[in-house]
Structure 1
Amino acid sequence: MARVQLELPEQFIYKTSMQIRYTDLNTGGHVGNDQMISLISSARYSFFQHLQVNLENIDNHRIVVTDLVTSYRAESFAEEVLHFELGFMDFNAYGGDIIFRVTKTDKTLVTLAKTGFVFINQAGKVSPIPQGFINLLPDNVKP
């Protein structure tokens, strides 16, 4: 079976780190798929907080995750520190993708991931990217 291939952004614009807890491990003794997705979600939330994005109200819109792709490359274990680098790619009229590169302190690649997102208006309909969101982005990544 072919592996998922994810392209990386020209640059990652945010980095955060998290220590793996014993409760993040599955019965195999490593971080399970469900917990890695939770860690990626936490990194995404931290990223938006860094950008000063209020996920519940961006010009009367909110962000909704549309898809998730992960490609696991190495196991991670309790007490290890994982480093999450994030960047944007593939903006369209309604949203785009956030790319994640997750590594250990020794630079071992653990996971590559992508979450797609769109903006939803107050009526619950997919809507163009609000200008208020674009204004919060660094100039080198604006759509």
Structure 2
Amino acid sequence: MSRIHIEPPEHWLFHTCISVHIGDINYGNHLANDAILRLCHEARLRLLASLGFSEMDAGGTGLIMLDAALQFQGQGFYGDKLDFDLGITDLNNTGFGLVYRIRRSNDGTAIAMVKTNMAFFNYQRQRISRTPEIFRNALAQSH
């Protein structure tokens, strides 16, 4: 059986900490897979805000998720504080990959690696847009 493997970026661009809430727990009494994607969404919003952007305005255009990959590495539980490290890969003419490394804060246990491929998107025209130069510049200044 082949497994998903997510390569880490050359460097981590952003760090944040998010707590696991009771609504994030599934019937197995651990962090649910859909909750991991919701927590990644929160981490992504925090990254964008740190750069002066939002999902609806990332340099004059919005963002849309094209796909997501999730590589489980451990279990998270109610009350855990999770460290999220985010890095950008594959920046191109219309989007980028965003990699999330998730670890439990108190002991460093690896919980998951996630990658979402994001495209710049004009919601009024309902089509993919070019990567804004202001976004490229913000990334270059954050290194």
So what's the TM-score if we normalise by structure 2? 0.92
For 2:59 and 2:142, the matched residues in 1 are separated by 22
CA RMSD of aligned residues (A): 1.5
Letter in 1 for 2:31: V
For 1:68 and 1:6, the matched residues in 2 are separated by 11
For 1:65 and 1:8, the matched residues in 2 are separated by 19
Per-residue deviation, 1:22: 1.9
- Segments of 4+ in structure 1 off by > 2 A? 57-60, 138-141
**Between 54-63 and 15-24, the greater mean CA deviation after superposition:** 54-63
Gaps of 5+ in 2: none
- The corresponding residue for 1:127 is 129
For 2:13 and 2:134, the matched residues in 1 are separated by 19
SS in 1 for 2:62: strand
Q: Is the 8 A contact 1:53 1:136 kept in 2?
A: no
Indicate how the Cα distance of structure 1 residues 131 and 6 shifts in structure 2: closer, same or farther if over 3 A, else same.
same
For 2:36 and 2:67, the matched residues in 1 are separated by 15
For 1:30 and 1:79, the matched residues in 2 are separated by 11
Letter in 2 for 1:133: F
Equivalences for residues 74-89 of structure 1 within 5 A: 74-89=74-89
- The corresponding residue for 1:113 is 114
Per-residue deviation, 1:59: 4.5
Equivalences for residues 2-21 of structure 1 within 5 A: 2-21=2-21
Equivalences for residues 34-73 of structure 1 within 5 A: 34-73=34-73
Q: Is the 8 A contact 1:14 1:85 kept in 2?
A: yes
Per-residue deviation, 1:139: 3.7
Letter in 2 for 1:132: I
Gaps of 5+ in 1: none
How many residue pairs get aligned? The number is 141
So what's the TM-score if we normalise by structure 1? 0.92
SS in 2 for 1:111: strand
- Percent identical among aligned pairs is 27
Indicate how the Cα distance of structure 1 residues 61 and 30 shifts in structure 2: closer, same or farther if over 3 A, else same.
same
Cα deviation digits, residues 76-105 of structure 1 (max 9, x gap): 101111100000001111111000000012
**Between 89-98 and 49-58, the greater mean CA deviation after superposition:** 49-58
Q: Is the 8 A contact 1:24 1:32 kept in 2?
A: yes
Cα deviation digits, residues 29-64 of structure 1 (max 9, x gap): 001111111111111111111111132124431111
